[in-house]
Structure 1
C-alpha cells in the first residue's frame, strides 16, 4: 500500500536530462509526488536520505529475468518474477516482451499481462509483442518458421487488447498498409524491427504512425551511403524513437555515442534481458534452441546473439563510461525518453509534482539501493 514518504535527495535528477539539483526534499503521498522543495539545511527525522534520486527506469524490452522467461510460461507469476528481478537493476516499470511464436501464441501473453495488472503486480505497463510479424530475412534468434505477415484476425485480437498491447515490433515493409494503419489507430505503439525496410518504406510507415525502431543497429541493414534504411531514418527523423542495447556487445561504443549525440531525447535504453539477468542459471532454452551465457554474451549454438545479459543501471553506466553521455542525459534515456515513446510523459519519466511516485534510488557510485513503484518502496533485493 502506498504511504506518505519524504526523501532527502542529495542529488536529484528530474528526468530533463540536465545536471542534478542538490539537497531537495521530495514528498510522496498516495502514490504521487506531492511536492519538491529545497532542503535549506533541514533534515526531517522521517526523511529517507538518498545520494542520488532519479525517475523510475522504464524498460521497453525485457524477455525474462530471475530464471524466468516470458515465452516459456506466459502467466502472471512469471511476470511478477521478471519484474522483481528487474528491480535489482533499477527498473520500476516494464513491458514484458513476448517474441515470435507459432500462430496466435501471443494471445497467451495478452492474457498474462491482463492477469498481472488485475493482480496488482507492480510496474507492469502492458506487453511488448516482438514478432511474429517480422522479415524472414532478419530473424535473429526468432524461429524463422513462425515469422509471418500481420493478418486481419491478428489485427482484431491486438486492437481489442489495447491498451494492454503497448508496443508491437514488426517489419513495416512486410505488412498490408491498411492493417498497419488500423493497428496504429487503435492506440498501439509500433516500432520497426527485424526488418529490411528502405528509407522510403520507413517514411511511409512513419506517415502511417510508426514511431520508432527496436534495438537500433541490430537485426536491420547497416547505414550505407545510398541506402539510409532504418538506421538513417531513425537517426535523422525528429519524430522517431529507438531502443538501444547498451552492453557494448550488441552496439559498439562509437555507435552508442553517435546515437546519443543525434537523438538525445529519443534514444531509449532497453535491456532485451533474458532469464540469466539476476538469475542463477547460465543456460536456458528459447523456443527449443539452447542458449548459453558466455562472459556477458548470450548466444545460440551457432553464435547468434539471443537477447542480452544486461540491467538498466548497467546500461546507464555504460552510456556514461563508453559513450561520454552525462549522468542526467543517461538517466533520461532510461526514464523520460521511454515514457515519451509510450505516450506516458505526463505521468512517468520525471520527478515532478503530480507525477506517479516511481523513482530509482542510487548511491554515489550509481548502484541501485531501492526502487519506488507508484509509492511502494522495494529494496533492490526484493
Structure 2
C-alpha cells in the first residue's frame, strides 16, 4: 500500500488555515492523508520535491467561460470542454463551474446536453449567467436575448438542464418569491448580477433565497451615498457572499481592498475569463490584459486564479493565506463541498505547488500529477 503514496516535501504547506514548514504532505490515492514529519514518510513512497514552494489547495473558479483558446458558448461540445479543462487544471484550477452567458435557448440546450453527459474530475457543473437579467445592466450580454422570467419557462428550463445546473445569475428585482423558490427548491444556487436592484430590493432577495452576488460592482446598480444599491445591500448583509474579479481592470484594487475589509470571508475570487472568438453571438477581442466586444465594451478577463491570488497580495494588501482561502475554501464552502478547497485528512488530493513569483510549478488532481 505504501507504494501508492505520494509525499510532497520541502514545501510550505497551507493547512489548518496557516502556512507551515518542516512537514511533508502525504497523499494516498485520491485523498489527502495528512501532513507528516519527514522521518514519518512510509517506505516506498514517491517523493515530490516542492523546492521551497507553496503547497496549497487547488483553486476553485465558479465563473469561467473558456480556456486553452476555446470558448464553451461558441462551441458547446465535449471536445471544447476537454481543451478548457486541460488548460484550467494546468493553471492550478482543479475545480470549475463552466459558465454560459445569455444566449439562445437552443445553444443553452446544447450546453445542458454536453454538461449532463461529460465527466471530468475538475468540472463542478454549469453556471448560467442569464438570460433573466436587467437590460439596464446587461454589460456584454445581448439585449435581444435577455428574457423576462416566467414560471412555466423556467420550470421547462430546469427539466432540460437536469442535474448540471448548479448556479444561476439573475436580476432579482425581476423575480417574485415563487419563481425564486422554484429555482432554489431545485438545488440551484442563486446569485444576483446584471441587476439594477435598489438596496431594498436586493435585501429582500437575500432574505428570499438569493445567496450570492456575481462579480461585485460590475454590471449592477452602483454604490451611491444616497442610494447604496446592490453593493450596499451586499456589504450590509450577514449572509450574502460575493465574487469579485481581481484584475485591477474590472474593479480597482483599492475597491477590492475596501470590499475585503467589509465582507471578510463572504468575498471570494472568480476569473470571469473568456477566450478570443469570432463565432457565435459573442465576439471577444483580446486587448492584451482583458477582452472586449468590438465596440470596446468590457466582456471578460484574461486572469487565471493564480494571478488573481497574486494581485490580492501585491496590490490589495490581502495576506497570502486569506487570498488562498478566497480562491479555494470560500467558493467550496458556498457550494457545500467539504472535501474541496482545503488540505486536511480525507480531503480530495487536489493540490497546487507554486513558487515565490506566483508561478504554478506542479498540479495534482485527485492525487494524480497533471
Question: How far is the alpha carbon of 1:160 from its aligned partner?
Answer: 6.6
Matched, 1:248 2:241: no
Q: Which residue of 2 aligns with 1:335?
A: 328
1:262-294 CA distance string (max 9 Å, x none): 22312111111112xxxxxxx422643533222
Matched, 1:13 2:5: no
Looking at both structures, which has the greater relative contact order when contacts are Cα pairs under 8 Å and sequence separation is at least 6? Answer: 1
Q: Which residue of 2 aligns with 1:238?
A: 238
Structure with the higher helix share, 1 or 2:
2
Q: Which residue of 2 aligns with 1:302?
A: 295
Q: Which residue of 1 aligns with 2:204?
A: 204
Change (3 A) 1:48 1:110: same
Distance of 2:16 and 2:164 partners within structure 1: 25
- SS of residue matched to 2:99: strand
Question: How far is the alpha carbon of 1:250 from its aligned partner?
Answer: 0.3
Q: Which runs of 5+ in 1 are unaligned?
A: 276-282
1:314-347 CA distance string (max 9 Å, x none): 1000000110111111111000011012121x11
Matched, 1:84 2:76: no
1:58-114 CA distance string (max 9 Å, x none): 011111111111101112221121111112321111011011112353222221112
Q: Which residue of 1 aligns with 2:366?
A: 374
Question: How far is the alpha carbon of 1:254 from its aligned partner?
Answer: 0.6
Matched, 1:36 2:35: yes
Matched, 1:64 2:66: yes
Q: Which residue of 1 aligns with 2:77?
A: 75
Check whether the contact 1:15–1:54 (CA below 8 A) recurs between aligned residues: no
Question: How far is the alpha carbon of 1:122 from its aligned partner?
Answer: 3.0
Aligned residue runs from structure 1 range 133-144, under 5 A: 133-144=132-143
Distance of 1:287 and 1:78 partners within structure 2: 14
- SS of residue matched to 1:239: coil
Q: Which residue of 2 aligns with 1:46?
A: 46
Q: How many residues get paired?
A: 364
Distance of 2:16 and 2:263 partners within structure 1: 16
Aligned residue runs from structure 1 range 232-381, under 5 A: 232-275=232-275, 283-285=276-278, 287-344=280-337, 346-378=338-370
Q: Which runs of 5+ in 2 are unaligned?
A: none
Question: How far is the alpha carbon of 1:307 from its aligned partner?
Answer: 0.7
RMSD: 2.1
TM-score in terms of structure 1 length: 0.90
Distance of 1:292 and 1:203 partners within structure 2: 36
Distance of 2:122 and 2:366 partners within structure 1: 8
1:34-53 CA distance string (max 9 Å, x none): 22223369797732122211
